[in-house]
């Protein structure tokens, strides 16, 4: 089959690779119909995480049709249209039973790496370094789906492929930021980043009853899209003193909930944060620019939720502000299995609309160009979505 392979730093190629095969009784094989780019891929593509091997297949946000099922798969049949959580989870360990599927004890196939880096092993993810499970990615004609009854969900008929593909990763990540950030009716919520996760956080915050939602970015077309599709207010951080403006829009206190949805993709072209003013540093990989600003802007006693992807160590982190302002700081990789059925229901009822985020639909052969569009945000690209089945 054909697949998008990582060939080295900033080198991607669509190549012929072996077809995936069933490896155990709970596996199934999915023929991929949609597979989307994600900001979490960029450090991998750039080779900033020295954990990929040449030939690894990228991609983790996907939807497709069941092509083959293992003998123990109960909930799926050949031909079913399914969306699959980007997080691989076994479903039976203590963490999975708490709904913390991305923390699964059993789905990481190289636990020594995450255990040594983070203290405990975490769960797997498609298309990620061997450290996160080594499961081949979805930018391919076919993908092996382990724990099929846990991670794959049948898509209701009325929901289009272009809408449902976001239930794999961006929509649960967005929902998680709002729900675990403890958005309550009447809250003012600020979201850093107007990419797919940021926009879906804004939609989730509104569905959870937030009074005002303010999305912060510097790309005018993304901000316009967020206004049009999420009903959020927006701020361009290149033109605005963000913490001052957020105080102004929240009764002088600051937002109740601040969600960071930029991660390693956050860039430092805006006004320097307070910490950057002290240190003169801004913008290298894993500099938590937006996290810092969220911590500074958040009202005392509020919650900061970090949705953006970080993998290593960050410095210039304002722990003093977290402590002295009484903030709650939370974060997670998305626990898709916990929210996908609810999100698909909302998609079927038209409460949650996501298809506008698929700004560029491309055949798999053009995936390397799709990543360049996505990385540079060329032509208003929010997500490039590949269609391996033509």
CB of 74 to Zn ion, least distance (A): 18
The end-to-end CA distance of the chain, in Å, is 13
| Cβ closest to Zn ion, residue 20 vs residue 121 | 121
CB of 121 to Zn ion, least distance (A): 11
CB of 95 to Zn ion, least distance (A): 5
Q: What is the maximal distance between C-alpha atoms in the chain?
A: 61
CB of 114 to Zn ion, least distance (A): 14
CB of 390 to Zn ion, least distance (A): 36
Q: Of the candidates 127, 149, 126, which has an alpha carbon nearest to the alpha carbon of residue 24?
A: 149
Which tokens in the block code for residue 147?
């724990």
Residue 61 DSSP code: E
| Cβ closest to Zn ion, residue 92 vs residue 378 | 92
| Cβ closest to Zn ion, residue 99 vs residue 284 | 99
Q: What number of CA atoms fall less than 13 Å from residue 370's CA on the CB side? A: 28
CB of 317 to Zn ion, least distance (A): 30
| Cβ closest to Zn ion, residue 106 vs residue 114 | 106
| Cβ closest to Zn ion, residue 38 vs residue 103 | 103
Q: Of the candidates 75, 77, 57, which has an alpha carbon nearest to the alpha carbon of residue 67?
A: 77
Say how far apart CA 22 and CA 222 lie, in whole Å: 41
| Cβ closest to Zn ion, residue 92 vs residue 116 | 92
CB of 130 to Zn ion, least distance (A): 19
Q: Of the candidates 142, 130, 123, which has an alpha carbon nearest to the alpha carbon of residue 85?
A: 123
Say how far apart CA 210 and CA 138 lie, in whole Å: 35
Phi and psi at 364, nearest 5°, equal -55, -35
Residue with the two structure tokens 């919650």: 303
Calculate the CA 380 to chain-centre distance.
Answer: 19
Residue 126 DSSP code: B
| Cβ closest to Zn ion, residue 90 vs residue 318 | 90
Q: Interface residues with Zn ion (CB under 5 A)?
A: 89-90, 93, 96, 104, 106
């Amino acid at each position: 089959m054909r697949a998008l392979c990582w060939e080295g730093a900033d080198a991607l190629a669509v190549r012929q690779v072996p077809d995936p095969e069933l490896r155990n009784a709970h596996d199934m094989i999915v023929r991929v119909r949609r597979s989307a780019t994600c900001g979490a891929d960029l450090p991998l593509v750039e080779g900033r995480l020295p954990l990929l091997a040449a030939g690894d297949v990228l991609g983790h946000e996907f939807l497709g049709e069941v092509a083959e099922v293992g003998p123990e798969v109960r909930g799926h049949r050949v031909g079913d249209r399914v969306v699959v959580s980007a997080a691989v989870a076994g479903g039976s360990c203590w963490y999975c039973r708490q709904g913390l599927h991305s923390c699964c004890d059993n789905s990481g196939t190289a636990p020594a790496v995450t255990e040594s880096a983070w203290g405990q092993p975490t769960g797997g993810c498609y298309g990620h370094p061997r450290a996160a499970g080594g499961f081949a990615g979805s930018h391919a004609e076919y993908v092996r789906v382990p724990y099929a009854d846990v991670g794959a969900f049948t898509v209701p008929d009325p929901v289009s492929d272009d809408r449902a593909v976001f239930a794999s990763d961006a929509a649960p990540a967005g929902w998680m930021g709002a729900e675990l950030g403890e958005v309550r009716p009447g809250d003012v919520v600020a979201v850093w980043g107007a990419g797919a996760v940021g926009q879906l956080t804004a939609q989730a915050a509104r569905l959870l009853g937030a009074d005002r939602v303010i999305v912060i970015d510097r790309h005018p077309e993304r901000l316009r899209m967020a206004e049009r599709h999420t009903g959020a207010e927006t701020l361009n951080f290149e033109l605005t003193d963000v913490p001052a403006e957020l105080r102004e829009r929240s009764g002088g206190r600051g937002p109740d909930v601040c969600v960071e949805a930029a991660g390693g993709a956050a860039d430092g072209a805006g006004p320097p944060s307070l910490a950057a003013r002290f240190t003169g540093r801004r913008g290298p990989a894993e500099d938590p620019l937006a996290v810092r600003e969220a911590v500074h802007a958040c009202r005392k006693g509020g919650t900061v939720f970090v949705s953006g992807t970080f993998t290593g160590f960050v410095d210039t982190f304002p722990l003093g502000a977290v402590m002295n302002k009484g903030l709650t700081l939370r974060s997670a990789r998305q626990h898709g299995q916990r929210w996908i059925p609810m999100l698909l229901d909302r998609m079927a009822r038209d409460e949650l609309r996501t298809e506008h985020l698929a700004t560029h639909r491309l055949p798999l052969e053009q995936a390397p160009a799709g990543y360049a569009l996505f990385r540079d945000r060329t032509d208003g690209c929010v997500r490039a979505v590949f269609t391996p089945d033509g």
